[in-house]
Structure 1
Amino acid sequence: MKISTKYILLTLITIASAVFYTCNNPFNGIEIITDGNLYGNTPTGVIFINANDKNPTPVGDFTVTISGSNADKVINDIGKKEFKVVGGMLSLALEEGVKPTKSNPIQFHINGELNGYVPVSQTITLDKDSASVYVVKMVQYKNLPEGTAAVVGKNTTLTSGATTAPTTIALPSSASKPEQTNILVETGTQFLNANGAPITGGTLTSNIVQYSPSSEKALEAFPGGLSAQNLVDASGNKLNAGSFVTAGFVAIDMKVGNQAVKQFSKPLKVDMEVSNQIVNPNTGSTIKAGDQIAVWSLDESKGVWKREGNTTIANNGGKLIASFDIPHLSYWSLNFYSENCTQSTKITVNANAGAANRTYTINLLNESGQPVSTSADISHTMTSGANTITLDKLPSYKLKVVLVDKATGEKAAESAYFDPCSNQGVSVTLNAATIDLVNVNLDLTGKCPAKKTTVLPSANASLYRNVNNSKVFVQSIRVENGTGSLKLINNTKYYIEIVYDGRKYSTEFDFNKSDTSLPAKDGLKGKITYNSATNSSVLTAEFNIPNCK
């Protein structure tokens, strides 16, 4: 006999009566099915993946901190205030009764550190009570993505906690990062903690990563995305939310011994080469000598960008150079800043029959080819014909729309550049090629054998595809009360992972149009049943939950 959640109260009353009249164990033979969606509103999944998609080393487990104006309203997937990334996944929700709207959004910030990686900084704004997924690309110092360069573990000898000679740290150019950066540490520089006190020690250790503004892979790791939500000026006054066009950025982490450096007695001197392919949104032309650009720093713990001042682009031997000082540590970036449009923008996708019932991610790119949408997954399932999608608060400079097929991860269509503030919107023609897609329903359960309890989990599952023997992230799947849906390509190898109550469960399988058993691997087991009449499958999987409470 099975009893669902909505009958638990009646069951308990019945059991209480049974206990009163008999000495027998009233739970014998009863399996209780509990709803895994008991905690909170607005389920939010955050997926952390390695930024190097050519060697996507799995991201390990680490603890994060939730801060910001609405941090007190955030809970994890089982209603607790403990926030840990497990297997690259973090499942969050809002406390019961908290429902974000466009007029009353909920905002919070995630920051954390994982050994061997650049620190994580991600601001999330929720403006509707529905499930959402964010993808955060993490840069591993010794496994860099294209478009980056790093100096890792560079040691500088100190005397009485200060440098005794000028030291230049160079981040050289390369084919995927043509811009070079030089950082000068002047003689006599002392290294200070967050309170401004000198740090004593004999060795300075530096980890520095430079990111090219012309590299798609480097830009995917821009902290929080180019949609800038928390901004202040040099005096700390709040600025309106907007968007960046970046001309380059650098992440600097320094330690003396095991103490983090936060400030300097003398500022670091930076000469950053700037690509002449970046379009200045203020002029509509590519950057040239004499253009001014703002210098910004990021408070990683709060997700706040501060406009520190401006620098003027100079021509040095035929190269464009931006020079600026760094008095304290964080990310530092050269960014053009524009406020967002005040009106909504309509995107019309004219889709052929081949695109019907397929889901596409909507990406927005500025004229420099940089992604300006947030790292939130903006997607839409198309119908044949005209599909109207309305987006709010787009940047007030020219953009184009790029549609990416969620099943394949490949670009499917793009628009011309348009002005999102013009009230005219933009149209995209989507002529999708037919691929052998199968609709798959996911049926997931968690088992508590010791207590004869089955949990219908609400969580985020991550789907990966095998591409040239590499595990490539495809999408996140929202599982509600044990059910979800996805589309899989016939004759393709996949990996699926789910995190529940701080533990990761996963399996891998070769998907085709047949009945298949899921290999019992990493705690997730089950089967796939194919229905040729409907060209659909059911993926049934279960995992055991230890220490059920």
Structure 2
Amino acid sequence: MNRFNMLRSTLTIVLFMLIGGCQDIRDIQQLDPLKNVVFKINYEPSPTTLQGLIVDAKTNTPLAVPVKITLFGPDANRVVTYEGAAVTSFESAKADLFLGLKGEVPSTSKPAELRIVATAPGYISSSIYLFIDKTKPEPFSLHMVRKADPPAGVVLKQETVETASTGTIRQTKTITTPTNASMTASATVTISANTILKDDKGQPVAGQLSAQFATYSSQTEASLRAFPGGFTTRVLRDNQGNASVKGTFSPIGYISLELATANGQKATSLSQPLTASVQIPSLLKNPQTGQPLKQGDQIPVFSYQETTGEWTFDQTISLTQSGSGLQASIPISKASGYTLAFWTPDGSCATGGQWTITGKPEGKPIRWVLYNGNQQYVADGTSSNNILSISRLSAGAARLDLFAPDGKVIGSSTVSNACGSHTVTVTYPQNLIDLDVTVTAYCENRNDIQVSPSAWVRYRKVGTENWQQSFLTAGQGKLLGLEPNTDYEAGVDYNGFNAVVINSGQTSGNQAIKIQLPSTISVCQQ
């Protein structure tokens, strides 16, 4: 007997004892002592919760198509959905994730690790690697490139190749990616005749194939945000021969080759290596020397497995002179992704970087973005603390930009080494206020249960694109850093964005955000 039915039975017995013989027993049995009673419950699937969005790399909005999610990594077997079901593969209809992590609570000294791989129709597959070191980490975003409309700094070229029934390429095909204002360097791959293509089951890939060749710039923020797996990750093997190593990439470039039939059969193995040539921006610096890249510099190449999101060291290549610029020639042994990147294992910056922020009232929110010495995007986040700690960094020059809730830059710090302690001064806007809000969840199949979830709320000033976020515990909390008497859109990403418009001028009561829970969740089945 569940706890609600037990309570119902107990109250019925008590009511019978009070009424005694003055009421016919048949009438008493028809009484419902819990009629119109609403049970209020604080519910979490586990002590550690994870929220995230799968977003379009160009528009930065959640994908409008279903996303298939597959989980890997040391702690993948601990993941549960918000409904409490153990899961390692599922589909997100609204491109949002609301997960729990069973078992030991993660910490800075012992973080949990999770690799999330996402595939969606019309998009290049991608992934993100999470190091989870607290019970309620900030929501993450996994940026995916739409093939028909990529972001600045990503270019694709698609051609058709034909193979015989044995999977043998009939005719040599050369594919060169176009250049544009955001991508001034091109990449070329030559698919040689007589190369035999097979899928991951060893079967020939025969017929008319779509050959898609893509290259990602290391100079635009949108393309760097879409870098598969993120920069801080765990690789199967690094360029020093170490296995299963945590560390950070400093990318020079990224390319991917996909060979697939119309019915979705993909070539993974090639009977002979192909050659891809990539132009290298001349202004990039070697993070190991601090000097501009030059002919003869040795750069590691790592290959990417799109089905598992894993990176592994492939080989080291030398840069060559090509006209007035530099070029890298990469032998491709499989149809996959490859990055030219310097790799820094964990431990080179053991303490991470800490910035003490002056000029900001304690508890008020800021957004931060970190760039490396090549002015490349590295990481971003939000914080309400006046000491900002960023872990798992690569040593070397860096710039930290700080933004007010309205998106304006209010401070910046340039340092010769990101590791260690730093100070940055900001000019924080005046007269911003906080507003009490609540989040309440209701079951789709009954109206006598009200759940107060702990969740991150996403909000922005109506008509702007500057999203903020705030965590609510047991359905209670505040939206921070609001302009007075202004409309804000706020909601929780759970089976879609459950948004309401809230005016910050309200002076009494809590503004309410409501979400609907499916009947399959345990609290709705009591």
TM-score, normalised to structure 1, is 0.83
2:21 aligns with: none
8 A contact 1:118–1:251 mirrored in 2? no
Question: Which of 414, 425, 428 is matched with 1:429 structurally?
Answer: 425
Greater Cα offset, 224-233 or 341-350: 341-350
Question: Which of 198, 206, 213 is matched with 1:208 structurally?
Answer: 213
Provide closer, same or farther for how the CA distance between residues 460 and 357 of structure 1 changes in structure 2, counting only shifts above 3 A: closer
8 A contact 1:459–1:499 mirrored in 2? no
Which amino acid is 1:437 matched to?
L
1:380 aligns with: 383
Identity %: 23
1:519 aligns with: none
8 A contact 2:175–2:213 mirrored in 1? no
- Is residue 2:233 matched to residue 1:228? yes
2:512 aligns with: 540
1:109 aligns with: 115
Question: Which of 233, 255, 258 is matched with 1:253 structurally?
Answer: 258
Provide closer, same or farther for how the CA distance between residues 30 and 132 of structure 1 changes in structure 2, counting only shifts above 3 A: same
8 A contact 1:48–1:59 mirrored in 2? no
- Is residue 2:498 matched to residue 1:506? yes
Shift of 1:352: 1.9
Aligned-partner Cα distance in 2 for 1:357–1:193: 54
Aligned-partner Cα distance in 1 for 2:486–2:273: 53
- Is residue 2:411 matched to residue 1:413? yes
DSSP-derived class of the 2:42 partner: strand
Greater Cα offset, 481-490 or 102-111: 481-490
* Unaligned runs of at least 5 residues, structure 1: 1-6, 515-529
2:398 aligns with: 399
8 A contact 1:252–1:329 mirrored in 2? yes
Provide closer, same or farther for how the CA distance between residues 346 and 163 of structure 1 changes in structure 2, counting only shifts above 3 A: closer
Question: Which of 12, 29, 32 is matched with 2:39 structurally?
Answer: 32
Shift of 1:247: 0.9
Aligned-partner Cα distance in 2 for 1:145–1:357: 34
Instruction: Map 1:294-309; keep pairs closer than 5 Å.
Output: 294-309=300-315
C-alpha RMSD of the superposition? 2.9
Question: Which of 427, 440, 444 is matched with 2:435 structurally?
Answer: 440
- Is residue 2:458 matched to residue 1:480? no
Instruction: Map 1:186-197; keep pairs closer than 5 Å.
Output: 186-197=192-203
Shift of 1:16: 6.5
Shift of 1:394: 2.1
DSSP-derived class of the 1:372 partner: strand
Which amino acid is 2:442 matched to?
K
8 A contact 1:43–1:132 mirrored in 2? no
1:80 aligns with: 85
Shift of 1:29: 2.5
Which amino acid is 2:391 matched to?
D
Instruction: Map 1:110-149; keep pairs closer than 5 Å.
Output: 110-149=116-155
Choose between structure 1 and 2: higher strand proportion: 1
Aligned-partner Cα distance in 1 for 2:92–2:460: 18
DSSP-derived class of the 1:14 partner: helix
Question: Which of 475, 490, 494 is matched with 1:496 structurally?
Answer: 490
8 A contact 1:497–1:505 mirrored in 2? yes
1:15 aligns with: 11
Aligned-partner Cα distance in 2 for 1:129–1:17: 42
Aligned-partner Cα distance in 1 for 2:125–2:299: 25
1:66 aligns with: 71
Provide closer, same or farther for how the CA distance between residues 391 and 462 of structure 1 changes in structure 2, counting only shifts above 3 A: closer
8 A contact 1:49–1:59 mirrored in 2? no
CA-to-aligned-CA distance 1:212-263 (integer Å, 9 cap, x gap): 1111111111122212333414797415322221111023332124212111
Aligned-partner Cα distance in 2 for 1:417–1:183: 39
Shift of 1:34: 2.0
DSSP-derived class of the 1:240 partner: strand
Greater Cα offset, 224-233 or 141-150: 224-233
TM-score, normalised to structure 2, is 0.86
Aligned-partner Cα distance in 1 for 2:272–2:487: 55
2:100 aligns with: 93
Provide closer, same or farther for how the CA distance between residues 279 and 507 of structure 1 changes in structure 2, counting only shifts above 3 A: same
Provide closer, same or farther for how the CA distance between residues 537 and 317 of structure 1 changes in structure 2, counting only shifts above 3 A: farther
Shift of 1:513: 4.8
Aligned-partner Cα distance in 1 for 2:258–2:243: 26
Provide closer, same or farther for how the CA distance between residues 507 and 228 of structure 1 changes in structure 2, counting only shifts above 3 A: closer
Which amino acid is 1:444 matched to?
V
Provide closer, same or farther for how the CA distance between residues 346 and 164 of structure 1 changes in structure 2, counting only shifts above 3 A: closer
1:453 aligns with: 449
8 A contact 2:247–2:344 mirrored in 1? yes
Shift of 1:404: 2.8
Shift of 1:545: 4.1
DSSP-derived class of the 1:321 partner: strand
Shift of 1:177: 0.7
Aligned-partner Cα distance in 2 for 1:251–1:464: 35
Shift of 1:481: 2.2
CA-to-aligned-CA distance 1:380-431 (integer Å, 9 cap, x gap): 225xxxx4334433212222322233x223432221223244x5x2221212
Greater Cα offset, 359-368 or 317-326: 359-368
CA-to-aligned-CA distance 1:34-91 (integer Å, 9 cap, x gap): 2222x212111112221113x8574433231111221111111221124443433201
8 A contact 2:231–2:248 mirrored in 1? yes
Shift of 1:447: 2.6
8 A contact 1:91–1:459 mirrored in 2? no
Matched positions, count: 502
DSSP-derived class of the 2:367 partner: strand
8 A contact 2:164–2:207 mirrored in 1? yes
8 A contact 1:414–1:428 mirrored in 2? yes
Aligned-partner Cα distance in 2 for 1:117–1:204: 18
Greater Cα offset, 253-262 or 18-27: 18-27
8 A contact 1:338–1:397 mirrored in 2? no
Instruction: Map 1:329-368; keep pairs closer than 5 Å.
Output: 329-340=335-346, 341-345=348-352, 347-352=354-359, 355-368=361-374
CA-to-aligned-CA distance 1:262-303 (integer Å, 9 cap, x gap): 111122210001111211011211111111111111223333
DSSP-derived class of the 2:218 partner: coil
Computing the radius of gyration from Cα coordinates, the structure with the larger value is: 2
Shift of 1:204: 0.9
8 A contact 2:52–2:96 mirrored in 1? yes
Shift of 1:158: 2.6
Shift of 1:319: 2.4
Which amino acid is 1:446 matched to?
A
